[in-house]
């Protein structure tokens, strides 16, 4: 999510993250007050993101048609009794969040809620989700005994917030899902922003629609949930500029760069440093070490791709001193210079331990969990696997940067 926030134009230095024991009720209240209510101006853009278990509690002030308040569970959540009914302490109620949002000076507040609004189980474990390449999924809902969930979605008025727009993962009666690859709603948002990178901007309505389509194509039947737009819907069509990555950098670029930095032992070279749109590209990799080769790229779209191994060339063991040219004869695809224009970083990494980034890759999978695409996206699981070997013997890496230009003349 930190990478997604940066992709939406929120710089790391202007981002505050509360994790685990930092995210108590008092900690969240203090951060919202000091960081956003006291720390922003009317012209600032504000993003509030929550990932965790949603819950429903008995409504104590009578403002809910279904008799239940929605709430975010926090680190110090604990069972409680009020007015003879079971409830929870250590949560952030929707009523309190609405009051806080109204006090934020910014006129453009985006709230992203990756949690269930309701459901029928307590942190339910589901079976695998093959189309996401996930072995299991968990419902992001915490059920309070004696607090009955809503039987149907409760439609909220857009007038509830004049300065904010909310995109939440699910309807009131639905459960959103998290997997070992990440929360599905946040994965959908990341994919949606990447798809709009070439346009240079995205509206929140476009983000909502694209995230909804992502979920619909990967989750079936009772597992499917439906993201919701709420708040001031006039903000949904405001174009949010996406920072250009044509010159390189960006969160994914830095992550790939860090995986290779200082390792040495692998040389990576393109036939030339610049290619015109439509030209075929060739990449040569030579390793001084025997091991398992993975090749990753990240370009102006900000999406890190696993180029090798891939669905057409699975054997990625290399010998010391051997030169591998990509694409290989076994690969029925070309590497073609294409939009968006700008710089692309390629990192080739050789490990003594077997690591297959294609198997770990994100992307659309078939019913058996096999990646449909020839190449997939570098996953956080893949990154963590390489990071665990980063300082071990037999870890070697090298990088190259190539540029894609719109016209042959502009590439000279």
Lowest pLDDT segment from 9-13, 36-40, 153-157, 364-368: 153-157
What mean pLDDT comes out for the span 65-78? 83
User: What is the distance between the alpha carbons of residues 346 and 223, in angstroms, rounded to a whole number?
Assistant: 37
pLDDT > 50? residue 214: yes
DSSP 209: H
pLDDT > 90? residue 365: no
The confidence band for 123, taking pLDDT boundaries of 50, 70 and 90, is very low
Q: Name the residue among 302, 325, 329 with its Cα closest to residue 313.
A: 329
pTM of the predicted structure, to 2 decimals: 0.88
Q: Looking at residue 62, what is its pLDDT? A: 57
The confidence band for 64, taking pLDDT boundaries of 50, 70 and 90, is low
Pick one of 3.40.50, 3.30.1330, 1.20.1300, 3.90.1150 as the CATH number of 2-241: 3.40.50
Pick one of 3.90.1150.10, 2.60.40.2550, 2.60.120.200, 1.10.287.3510 as the CATH number of 251-411: 2.60.40.2550
User: What is the distance between the alpha carbons of residues 34 and 186, in angstroms, rounded to a whole number?
Assistant: 26
pLDDT > 70? residue 158: no
Residue in the structure block whose two tokens are 């990576």: 268
The DSSP string of 297-331 is EE-TT--EEEEESBTTB---EE-TT-EEEES-TT-
Query: What are the helix (H) ranges across 246-375?
Result: 251-260
Mean pLDDT score of the chain, rounded to an integer?
A: 89
Asked whether this chain's domains 2-241 and 251-411 adopt the same fold, the reply is no
Q: Looking at residue 125, what is its pLDDT? A: 61
CA 291, chain centre distance (Å):
31
What mean pLDDT comes out for the span 115-134? 67
User: What is the distance between the alpha carbons of residues 18 and 25, in angstroms, rounded to a whole number?
Assistant: 11
Let me know how long the chain is: 412
Which tens digits make up the pLDDT trace of 90-99? 999 988 999 9
What angle do helix axes 184-195 and 204-218 make, rounded to 10 degrees? 120
pLDDT > 90? residue 86: no
Domain map (residue ranges) of the chain: 2-241, 251-411
User: What is the distance between the alpha carbons of residues 118 and 53, in angstroms, rounded to a whole number?
Assistant: 10
């Amino acid at each position: 999510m930190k990478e997604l926030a940066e992709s939406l134009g929120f710089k790391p230095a202007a981002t505050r993250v509360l994790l685990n024991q930092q995210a108590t009720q008092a900690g969240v209240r203090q951060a919202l007050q000091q960081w956003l209510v006291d720390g922003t101006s009317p012209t600032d853009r504000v993003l509030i993101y929550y990932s965790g278990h949603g819950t429903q509690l008995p409504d104590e002030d009578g403002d809910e048609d279904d008799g239940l308040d929605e709430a975010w569970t926090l680190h110090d959540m604990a069972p409680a009794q009020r007015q003879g009914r079971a409830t929870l302490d250590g949560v952030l109620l929707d009523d309190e969040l609405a009051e806080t949002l109204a006090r934020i000076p910014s006129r453009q507040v985006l709230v992203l809620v990756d949690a269930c609004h309701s459901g029928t189980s307590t942190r339910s474990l589901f079976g695998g989700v093959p189309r996401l390449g996930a072995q299991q999924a968990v419902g992001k809902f915490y059920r309070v005994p004696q607090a009955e969930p809503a039987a149907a979605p409760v439609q909220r008025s857009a007038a509830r917030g004049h300065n904010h727009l909310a995109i939440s993962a699910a309807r009131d009666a639905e459960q959103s899902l998290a997997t070992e690859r990440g929360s599905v709603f946040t994965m959908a948002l990341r994919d949606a922003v990447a798809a709009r990178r070439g346009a240079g901007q995205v509206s929140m309505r476009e983000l909502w629609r694209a995230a909804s389509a992502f979920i619909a194509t990967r989750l079936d039947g009772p597992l499917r949930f439906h993201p919701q737009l709420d708040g001031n819907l006039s903000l949904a069509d405001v174009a949010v500029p996406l920072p250009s990555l044509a010159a390189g950098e960006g969160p994914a670029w830095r992550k790939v760069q860090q995986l290779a930095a200082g390792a040495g032992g692998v040389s990576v070279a393109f036939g030339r440093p610049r290619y015109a749109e439509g030209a075929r590209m060739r990449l040569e990799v030579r390793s001084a070490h025997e091991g398992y080769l993975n090749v990753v790229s990240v370009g102006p779209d900000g999406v890190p791709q696993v180029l090798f191994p891939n669905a057409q060339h699975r054997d990625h063991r290399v010998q010391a001193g051997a030169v591998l040219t990509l694409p290989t004869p076994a690969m029925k695809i070309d590497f073609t210079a294409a939009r968006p224009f700008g710089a692309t970083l390629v990192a080739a990494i050789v490990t003594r331990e077997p690591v297959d980034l294609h198997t770990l890759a994100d992307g659309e999978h078939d019913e058996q969990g096999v990646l449909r695409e020839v190449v997939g996206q570098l996953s956080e699981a893949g990154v963590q696997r390489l990071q665990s070997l980063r300082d071990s013997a037999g870890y070697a890496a090298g990088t190259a940067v190539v540029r894609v230009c719109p016209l042959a003349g502009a590439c000279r």
